[in-house]
């Protein structure tokens, strides 16, 4: 691990090799609360560290959570203000406007209480659901208030004060049924989201649940709270006032409506033409799983040649850090070379993963968007030939890896029995995909093994010298791997003392071949005289899915929709690449989740439409009226 941070004066400060730690939260724990607790403990931990050792956070998900919650909260406030302005202009009554506005915080408060009882946290999706529902929350209250206004306006203000509650009760009874069915239909509209499964279900069900809870709460407010508050707000009735904004619209509507009724066939024909035109455009609409979330941090994966050693990878990482930190938008760069086999995600030293912290977008100078900044970085980093770059974001990168096992948005999996054929056809697919518009970071996963030091003893030559194979193995193990010569005790800890040849004497096959073996007759024999010492490719990496061998061509999608790119790749493979019998191509990654969600929605959405039709039939008692509304 290495890191480069930007000092307070703006100059890059290379820390060289560092030790990093990753904090994992327990399942079900709140991310923001967990990170806040960690931050509270960091000063205590810092005091216990030796002089010169400093803890410096390089990645903090709490920033993303806070920014997301702040964005949604701002959207809620802005929507609240817009509703206030619209209601004031159209209702032309301050008391009525205030009553309808009160329904919003009451509904949100009840929804949050229900979310807490349900175990649903206030995250981006759940709060986003409330932001989506805020406009629908006031619909029932507006209809109820407008009907109350109409009933009270029929009375002379100030007369028969005792009759006001009865008028409000009559208005509530009259509007209660349509309000109930309208809210129920809105709830049914979001019901298909509850049928989603896997990743898409985890993502969208909290939003759907928060919308449903908010709408149920708003229904109770519209049916009960608004009429009750109206008895206090309008004890002497109301005088109906027409909005100056609605008068010209109403006059225009009164002129247009008779004309439309006289030419109803023409109007219906135009409506059907618009419907058919809209349906004709459906195949041209792009499709993707979910829009990308701007995390405020970049994740750059750099792939070197499989033969690259640790020293080479470290040198490359240091050079790349200097190039990346030179961008004024970058606050920090940390690089990890490889991963140990002790964890659940081992990686070779030929893989470098860089975590790049960014300043707020408003302060950017090189580019105005993340895509443009990535393009500028890739152009500068490409000065080093032979390196493969893949740009992503930390959370998006992990999600992609969990979906398909590759750290990219799209995984094109080629299945088949023979590794040589898989490698050859995989290379053809890689070349084809690179030519598809909208693809970037295209790469075929390594099929060949990494470079290894291979020592093959010659039994005949060893036998002539009387040297046992075990003696050769012991020499190689001690000289290259090292042997324990003792221990050093420091306090309660013990450290092994490892002894092995100095690096120059074990760095090349020639140096290792010069090692000396002692024969039983006292002769000294070079290792190269009794064994073959060479650098060779190790065993191929055999990866399987569902017990079938496969190779993967990975790619990210930029500037186009995922569905369109996959459709073009699928068509191009079928037209230009001939696969032998027993070989097949399967698309994974985000597209796999998208296809599964679309297949499920293709069944659930028609069922929901049928349920909406049934509700309309129950509400109006007429198949014709229900069908007319469904057509609209």
Report DSSP letters for 217-279, one per residue. HHHHIIIIIHHHHHHHH-TT-------TTHHHHHHHHHHHHHHHHHTHHHHHHHHHHHHHHHH
In whole angstroms, give the CA distance from residue 315 to residue 504.
18
Q: What is the pLDDT of residue 429?
A: 92
Q: What is the mean pLDDT of residues 263-278?
A: 89
In whole angstroms, give the CA distance from residue 134 to residue 100.
12
Question: Of 242, 264, 298, at which residue does a domain stop?
Answer: 242
Closest by Cα among 391, 400, 398, 380 to 358: 391
Same domain, 232 and 281: no
Residue 502 is assigned to a structural domain of this protein: yes
Token duo for residue 417:
């029995």
Same domain, 136 and 250: no
The distance from CA 461 to its chain's CA centroid, rounded to whole angstroms, is 61
In whole angstroms, give the CA distance from residue 2 to residue 58.
11
Task: Reply yes or no on whether the pLDDT at 404 is more than 70.
Answer: no
Of residues 436 and 339, which shows the higher confidence score?
A: 436
For the chain, what percent of residues have pLDDT higher than 90?
10
Task: Reply yes or no on whether the pLDDT at 523 is more than 80.
Answer: yes
Q: What is the mean pLDDT of residues 599-621?
A: 87
Task: Reply yes or no on whether the pLDDT at 271 is more than 60.
Answer: yes
| Confidence band, pLDDT 50/70/90 cuts, at residue 531 | very high
Of residues 88 and 366, which shows the higher confidence score?
A: 366
Q: How many CB atoms lie within 10 A of CB 590?
A: 25
* pLDDT tens by residue, 546-557: 778 888 888 888
Question: Of 253, 285, 317, at which residue does a domain stop?
Answer: 285
In whole angstroms, give the CA distance from residue 352 to residue 348.
9
Same domain, 238 and 253: no
Residue 315 is assigned to a structural domain of this protein: no
- Residue-number span of the structural domain to which 150 is assigned: 92-242
Same domain, 148 and 184: yes
Q: Which range in 364-368, 559-563, 594-598 is most confidently predicted, on average pLDDT?
A: 364-368
SS3 of residue 333 by DSSP: strand
Same domain, 249 and 126: no
* Cross-sheet strand order for the sheet of 2-6: 12-17, 2-6, 330-339, 347-358, 297-303, 388-392
CATH number of the domain to which 197 belongs: 1.20.1640.10
Same domain, 116 and 234: yes
Closest by Cα among 59, 56, 61 to 31: 61
Task: Reply yes or no on whether the pLDDT at 321 is more than 80.
Answer: yes
In whole angstroms, give the CA distance from residue 127 to residue 590.
24
Same domain, 235 and 126: yes
Same domain, 9 and 136: no
3-state helix, strand, coil in the chain (%, to 5): 55, 20, 25
Residue 459 is assigned to a structural domain of this protein: yes
In whole angstroms, give the CA distance from residue 255 to residue 253.
5
Same domain, 120 and 7: no
| Confidence band, pLDDT 50/70/90 cuts, at residue 432 | very high
SS3 of residue 368 by DSSP: coil
Same domain, 264 and 139: no
Token duo for residue 78:
């802005």
Same domain, 185 and 171: yes
- pTM of the full predicted structure? 0.68
- 246-262 vs 264-281: helix crossing angle, rounded to 10: 100
Question: Of 242, 271, 299, at which residue does a domain stop?
Answer: 242
Q: Mind giving me the DSSP string for 401-466?
A: HHHHSSSSSEEEEEE-S-HHHHHHHHHHHHHHHHTSTTEEEEEEPP-SPPEEEEEEE-HHHHHHHT
Closest by Cα among 25, 23, 27 to 57: 23
Q: What is the DSSP letter of 49?
A: S
Q: What is the mean pLDDT of residues 177-182?
A: 90
Q: What is the pLDDT of residue 343?
A: 58
Task: Reply yes or no on whether the pLDDT at 318 is more than 70.
Answer: yes
The distance from CA 30 to its chain's CA centroid, rounded to whole angstroms, is 18
Mean of the per-residue pLDDT values for the chain? 84
- How many domains does the chain contain in total? 4
Token duo for residue 361:
């977008």
Same domain, 218 and 125: yes
SS3 of residue 58 by DSSP: coil
In whole angstroms, give the CA distance from residue 287 to residue 282.
10
Task: Reply yes or no on whether the pLDDT at 175 is more than 70.
Answer: yes
Residue 143 is assigned to a structural domain of this protein: yes
Residue 378 is assigned to a structural domain of this protein: no
Cβ pair 484, 497 in contact under 8 A: yes
Residue 100 is assigned to a structural domain of this protein: yes
In whole angstroms, give the CA distance from residue 23 to residue 86.
48
């Amino acid at each position: 691990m290495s890191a480069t941070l930007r000092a307070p004066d703006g100059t890059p400060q290379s820390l060289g090799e560092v030790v990093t730690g990753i904090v994992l939260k327990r399942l079900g724990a709140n991310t923001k609360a967990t990170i806040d607790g960690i931050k509270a403990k960091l000063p205590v931990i810092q005091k216990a560290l030796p002089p010169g050792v400093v803890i410096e956070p390089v990645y903090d998900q709490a920033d993303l959570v806070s920014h997301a919650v702040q964005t949604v909260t701002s959207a809620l406030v802005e929507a609240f203000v817009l509703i206030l302005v619209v209601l004031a202009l159209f209702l032309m009554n301050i008391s009525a406007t205030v009553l309808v506005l009160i329904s919003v915080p009451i509904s949100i408060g009840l929804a949050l209480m229900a979310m807490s009882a349900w175990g649903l946290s206030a995250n981006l999706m759940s709060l986003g659901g409330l932001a989506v529902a805020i406009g629908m929350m006031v619909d029932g209250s507006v209809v109820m208030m407008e009907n109350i206004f109409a009933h009270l306006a029929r009375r002379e203000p100030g007369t028969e004060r005792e009759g006001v509650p009865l008028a409000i009760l009559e208005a509530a009874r009259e509007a209660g049924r349509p309000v109930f069915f309208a809210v129920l239909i809105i709830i049914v509209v979001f019901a298909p989201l509850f049928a989603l499964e896997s990743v898409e279900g985890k993502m969208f069900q909290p939003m759907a649940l928060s919308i449903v809870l908010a709408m149920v709460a708003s229904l109770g407010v519209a049916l009960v709270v608004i009429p009750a508050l109206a008895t206090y707000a309008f004890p002497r009735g109301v005088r109906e006032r027409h909005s100056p904004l609605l008068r010209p619209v109403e006059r225009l509507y009164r002129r247009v409506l008779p004309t439309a009724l006289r030419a109803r066939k023409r109007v219906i024909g135009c409506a059907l033409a618009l419907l058919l035109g809209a349906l004709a455009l459906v195949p041209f609409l792009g499709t993707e799983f979910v829009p990308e979330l701007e995390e405020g941090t970049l994740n750059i994966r750099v792939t070197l040649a499989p033969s690259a050693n640790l020293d080479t990878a470290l040198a490359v990482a240091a050079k790349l850090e200097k190039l990346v930190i030179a961008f004024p938008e970058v606050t920090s760069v940390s690089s990890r070379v490889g991963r140990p086999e002790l964890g659940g995600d081992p990686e070779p030293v030929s893989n470098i993963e860089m975590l790049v912290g960014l300043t707020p977008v408003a302060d950017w100078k090189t580019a105005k968007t993340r895509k443009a900044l990535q393009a500028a970085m890739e152009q500068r980093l490409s000065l080093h030939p032979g390196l493969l770059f893949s740009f992503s974001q930390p959370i998006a990168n992990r999600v992609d890896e969990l979906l398909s096992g590759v750290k990219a948005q799209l995984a094109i999996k080629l299945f088949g029995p023979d590794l040589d054929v898989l490698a050859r056809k995989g290379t053809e697919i890689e070349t084809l995909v690179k030519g598809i518009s909208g693809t970037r970071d295209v790469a075929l996963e390594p099929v060949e093994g990494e470079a290894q030091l291979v020592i093959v003893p010659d039994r005949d030559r060893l036998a002539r010298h009387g040297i046992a194979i075990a003696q050769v193995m012991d020499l190689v193990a001690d000289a290259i791997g090292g042997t324990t010569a003792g221990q050093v005790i420091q306090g309660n800890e013990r450290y092994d003392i490892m002894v092995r040849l100095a690096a120059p004497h074990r760095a090349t096959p020639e140096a290792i071949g010069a090692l000396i073996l002692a024969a039983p007759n006292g002769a000294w024999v070079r290792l190269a005289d009794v064994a073959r010492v060479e650098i060779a490719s190790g065993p191929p990496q055999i990866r399987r899915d569902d017990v079938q061998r496969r190779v993967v061509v990975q790619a990210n999608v930029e500037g186009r929709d995922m569905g369109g790119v996959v459709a073009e790749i699928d068509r191009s493979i079928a037209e230009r690449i001939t696969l032998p019998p027993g070989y097949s191509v399967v698309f994974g990654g985000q597209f796999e989740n998208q296809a599964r969600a679309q297949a499920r929605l293709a069944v659930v959405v028609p069922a929901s439409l049928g349920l909406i039709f049934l509700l309309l039939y129950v509400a109006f008692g007429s198949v014709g009226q229900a069908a007319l509304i469904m057509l609209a």
